[in-house]
Amino acid sequence: MAIDRDRAKRLMDDIGELFDSLARPLPTAVRDRLKRMLFGGAFDEIRQIICESRPPVLMVFGRTGHGKSSLINALAGKEVAAVGRVSPRTEQGFRYEIDFPGRYATWSVIDTRGIFESTPPEGAEHRSSEEVLIQGIRQYRPDVLFHVISAQEVSTLSNDTRVFERIQSEIKGKDGIEAPTVIVLTKVDTLGRAGCMPPEEHPRTADAIVDAIDYVAEAVCHTRNATPINPSARMRGVMIAEGIYEAVIPTCTFKDAEVNWHWNIETLSDFVGRRLPEDARLLFAQALGRKTELRRMSSGLIKRFAGIAGAIGADPIPVADIIVLTPLQILMIAVIGGLSCQEISKKTARKYMSAAGLNVISAVGLRALAQQLVKLIPGVGSVVSAAIASGGTYAIGKSAEAWFFSQEKRSPEEFRGEWETEVEQ
């Protein structure tokens, strides 16, 4: 299960109805003001993260036979691209719309014509592959570019990178396109003692992979400041602080009737997830069930909801806290559950509340009463009230996150200190 945008919209309707039922006794002007506070803050967050999410657009380029199609299959976790063809297929390459049934996710992946192919595809115009790649980038405006290079060929491809440097300069100068680009070293199982995988169990292969990474970083990317992605395992890849590339990541996607080596694909997909625009991250992570990235999104959402709750708590309207915080917190819990790949609904929120022994409405009611009393303190009441509202919302969110993502039953009280630290930062 994953987040379905239609279900998310129905959830917002349900939360709106809950708000209307709570706010019905209030004067119309007050009710409208409170509704703007909820809909203008929390609902906008949900629309941006979920309802306006879009498929990521990924583009792979490089020489024919270097493993572009195999890389697409490995990233998607299933066979979607034709593998093993040596002759170029189409001038513009091939666009895959990859669906992930049951996860409400789709990717757009463009597999381009190989760089420096000696002959164009049958029936294609005799344009350079450089021109074709520039046109493809302009047409598809990819979120991330993969320069695919066979690990055995790294010493022969300096011309390829010079061509891509010209391409990047043109599309940035004329079109304002600045897609993050990563060099993907494929076929690393051919390094060292060929076929000895995984490298964690074969030091000779591991050393050969590190040598290839360092060669590309220094001789091709012209940097000596490459930082290991994993500090304890340089063979997993490096990040580059300057130049046209942002990382060099080795991979293996070898597969035959007896062996299926997909090595270091997770490092690559994690890098991609961090570099995608925010509106493309949900469908990328959701397609793969990447709990790390989805939990990172959840943590960011909790902080923003806590900030909204703080603004509500500081509002001078009597009883505003309980009327708005109740639907706000239920909405937050349901979305956290959705990000953990459960159904996004009030039912999901109730699962957490039942497991945690919490009645959010009652808990909010007690907290709201405390806030109303605090507001009677001249000069400082609203400030203290805001802190209670934001801290309480953050604590409930982190407790729900621990339960949904890690099946840990942790009280919201355990997280109050964390919010104080967040505010200080």
Residues 329 and 205 reside in one and the same domain:
no
Domain span at 407: 5-52+289-424
- Mean pLDDT, the chain, rounded, equals 82
Please indicate whether residue 207 or residue 155 has the higher confidence score (pLDDT): 207
232-269 b/e (C-beta count within 10 Å ≥ 16 → b): eebbbbbbbeeebbbbbbbbbbbeeeeeebbbbbebbb
The answer to whether position 167 is within a domain reads: yes
What's the structural domain count of the chain? 2
Question: How is residue 147 written in tokens?
Answer: 């320069």
Q: What is the CATH number of the domain that holds 70?
A: 3.40.50.300
| Residue type at position 73 | N
Q: Check whether 34 has a pLDDT greater than 80.
A: no
Same domain, 158 and 243: yes
User: Do 240 and 113 reside in the same domain of the chain?
Assistant: yes
* Inside any domain, residue 219: yes
Report the pLDDT value the prediction gives residue 7, as an integer from 0 to 100.
78
Bigger pLDDT: 155 vs 58: 58
Q: Tell me the per-residue pLDDT of 118-172, one tens digit each, with 9 for 90 and over.
A: 555 454 454 577 888 888 899 999 999 999 999 988 888 777 888 888 888 888 8
pLDDT of residue 213: 96
- One domain, residues 381 and 418: yes
Do 255 and 396 belong together in one domain? no
41 pLDDT more than 90 = no
Give a yes or no: residue 283 inside a domain. no
**With contact defined as beta carbons under 8 Å apart, do 358 and 294 qualify?**
no
91-117 burial: b if 16+ Cβ within 10 Å, else e: bbbbbbebebeebbbebbbbbbbbbee
Give the number of other CB atoms < 10 A from CB of residue 318.
Answer: 11
High-pLDDT (> 70) share of the chain, %: 83
**Residue 29, in any domain of the structure:** yes
Model pLDDT, residue 424: 67
Residues 209 and 348 in one domain: no
* Per-residue pLDDT band at 365 (split at 50, 70, 90): very low
Residue 280 lies in a domain: no
Final residue in a domain of this structure, among 275, 310, 339: 275
- Our measurement of the distance from residue 247's CA atom to the centroid of its chain's CA atoms, rounded to an integer in Å, reads 17
Q: Is 55 left (phi over 0), alpha (psi -120 to 50) or beta?
A: beta
Q: Considering only residues 85 and 50, tell me which one the structure prediction assigns the higher pLDDT.
A: 50
Same domain, 37 and 145: no
Q: Structure tokens of 288? A: 């793969």
**102 and 229 both lie in a single domain:** yes
- 347 shares its domain with 402: yes
Mean pLDDT of 325-352: 86
Q: Answer yes or no: is 284 within a domain.
A: no
Q: For residue 281, tell me if it sits in a domain.
A: no
pLDDT in tens, 319-336: 556 667 778 888 899 899
Last residue of a domain, one of 251, 275, 299: 275
What is the pLDDT averaged over residues 24-41?
79
Domain boundary among 275, 300, 316: 275
> What is the model's pLDDT at position 45?
78
In the predicted model, what is the mean pLDDT of residues 228-239? 95
Q: For residues 383 and 311, is the Cβ–Cβ distance under 8 A?
A: no
**Are residues 310 and 402 both part of a single domain?**
yes
Q: What is the mean pLDDT of residues 231-237?
A: 95
Q: Is residue 239 part of a domain?
A: yes
Do residues 48 and 119 both lie within one domain?
Answer: no
Tell if the pTM clears 0.75, that is, is over it. yes
Whether residue 115 contacts residue 109, with contact meaning beta carbons closer than 8 Å, is answered with no
Question: Where residue 85 falls among pLDDT bands split at 50, 70, 90?
Answer: very low
**220 and 293 housed in the same domain:** no
Decide if pLDDT at 375 tops 60: no
174 falls in which pLDDT band (50, 70, 90)? confident
* pLDDT tens track for 255-289: 665 666 789 999 999 999 999 998 999 899 989 88
